[in-house]
Copies of this chain bind each other. A is one copy, B any other.
Amino acid sequence: MFDITDRSLSLEPLVSAVTRSSSGAVASFLGVVREQTRGRQVLYLEYEAYREMAIPKMREIADEIRRKWKVDEIAMVHRIGHLEIGEASVAIAVSAPHRHQALAACAYAIDRLKETVPIWKKEVWTDGEEWVGPAACDGGVAGSEFRVSS
């Protein structure tokens, strides 16, 4: 299950989708809109996705995970649109026969999602707004060869 949705997120459908009879563990992650970000008061967030690229990029992350760990299934859903404080922006669930694989793969999934999946959030604060997107400046996507040389 890999999706971009404008509806509110819940873990249960992802957990159900990934649990197999071989699964002994399901690790999951929920990203939540928090009140404070880098010291500023958040009013709300607006998420935007390049959907046709974002979903294949999620599948690529799942392929990376399968090459690194023995997992059963992987699900990732990202929400877009207007999100209030306390609402979930991203949900990930990974099942595996053993817990260490599930936990490591889940941590990897959210790190990679933030690096490579083209989804942006506009943080709207009491005193301004700013777009935040894939972690290109960390060299996370693929290094500097993909930058515009200006």
Contacts of A97 in B (CB 8 A): 34, 36
Whether a CB of chain B sits under 8 angstroms from the CB of A32 is yes
Interface centre among A27, A30, A37 (most CB of B within 10 A): A30
Which residue of chain B is the closest to A107 with respect to CB atoms? B103
Q: Which segment of A18-26, A47-55, A73-81, A132-140 sits at the interface?
A: A18-26
Please tell me the size bucket of the interface on A.
20 to 34
B34 engages A24 (CB within 8 Å): yes
Q: Which segment of A8-16, A60-68, A142-150 sits at the interface?
A: A8-16
Contacts of A35 in B (CB 8 A): 21-22
CA distance A19 to B107 in the complex (A): 19
